[in-house]
Homo-oligomer: A and B are copies of this chain.
Amino acid sequence: MRPTVHDIAAEAGVSLATVDRVLNNRPGVRSVTRDRVERAIVTLGYVRDVAAANLAKGRSYPFVFILPAGENSFMRGLEAELRSAMARSAAERTNITILSVPAFDAQALAAALSQAHQRRPAGVAVVAVDAPEVTEAVKQLRMDGIAVVTLVSDLPGSGRDHFAGVDNIAAGRTAGTLMGRFLGDREGPVAVLAGSMLVRDHRDRLEGFRAVMGEAFAGRKILPVIEGQDNPALVEELVDTLLARHPDLAGIYSLGAGNRGLVAALEKAGRARTICAIAHELTPHSRAALLSGTIDAVLNQDAGHEVRSAIRVLKAKADGLPVIEAQERIRIDIFLKDNLPIEQA
C-alpha cells in the first residue's frame, strides 16, 4: 500500500495537521519540525493523492473563455468542444463562462477582457487579436493574479501565461512543402488566401509558407495575399476574381477560414481538380471537399485538445503549479482523404 499522511505523521512523530502544513507549505511550523516531516516524506516515498485532496478542498475553478462570434465552423467546433468540457465540469470542479465577441475586433475584445476581469475568475482563455489595447487588457488581468491563456492565436509580449495552439510558422511551412511537392513540375503561380493580417496565427502561417517556398521551391511564383476576413461570401467573390485573372493558377493555400467560399468558387469554375488546394481546419465543409477532391490536404489543429489543454494549464497556473510545456504542445495534423478521422456524432 502506498504511504498516506498518517504514515508520514507516524514516521515524523507529529500530527496530521502538521504534515498537512508542510505538504502545502503553509506557515506555522518550526523549521526543525518541517525538516523532520520532509525527511519522512522522502524516505516513505510519499505521493499525494490529488483526487482525495480535491475532494477535501471542495475547490472549484471559475474560468472565462472569450471566443469570436460568427459562422466560422472551426470556432463553432471549438465552442462545441468547450461546451462538452463544461458538461464534464462537475467532475472537474471547473466553472466556465463563455463570452462571445465580434471577430477581428480589438476594441470589443479588450472590452470583453475587462468584463471578464470583473467576474474575478481564476483564469481567462482568449482567442487573441494582436493589438495594443488587447495586450494591455491582458496585462491588467495578470496584475490581478488572474491566469491568462491565449487560445488558437497568440499574443506575444502580453505576458500571457501560456499559448494553447499550434506553431503556426511550422504549419505554414508544412503547407508549403505539401504544395511544392504535390505540384511537382507543374507550371503556374500559387495564390495565398488569408483571413486577416490582424491575427497572429494568420501572419505566422504566411511567413512559414513563404519561407519554404522561397527555400525549396524557388521557381514558383507566389501571388499577393488576398484577405477574405474568414467570411465565405467574401472569399467566394475574391476567388472568383482570382480565377478569372489567372487561368494558369496551379495552387491555392487558404490559411484562414471561410473555405466554403473557396470550394464553391473552385467548383463553379470547373477547376476543382486541376488546382491544388490546401486549407486549414477540418470542418464538415473541408471534410466534404477533401473527399470530393476539391481540397487536396487539410492542416488541422485539434480544437478538443486545445480546449482541454487550456483548462489543464489554467488549473495548474491557478494552483501555482508548473506546466510541462512539452506535454501541452498541440500538434499540426495533416489530413488527406485517406486518413480522415471518423466523424463524431
Contacts and interface: CB of A to CB of B under 8 A. Distances in A.
A212 B338 contact: yes
A278 to B, nearest CB: 12
B338 A336 contact: no
A331 interface: yes
B338 A173 contact: yes
A32 interface: no
A244 interface: no
A177 B337 contact: yes
A47 interface: yes
Contact of A51 (B91, B185, B326, B332): B91
A330 to B, nearest CB: 10
Contacts of A181: 181-182, 296
Interface string A182-199: 101110000000000000
A32 to B, nearest CB: 29
A321 interface: no
Interface residues of A, number: 39
Contacts of A171: 339
A51 B56 CA distance: 11
A91 B50 contact: yes
A174 interface: yes
A329 to B, nearest CB: 6
Nearest to A334: B334
A49 interface: yes
Interface string A50-63: 11101100000000
The 7 lowest CB-CB distance pairs between A and B, nearest first, are A184-B184, A173-B338, A51-B51, A334-B334, A174-B338, A332-B339, A174-B339
Given A49-B55, A50-B91, A332-B339, 11 more contacts: A51-B52, A51-B54, A52-B55, A55-B55, A170-B338, A171-B339, A173-B338, A208-B338, A331-B333, A331-B339, A334-B339
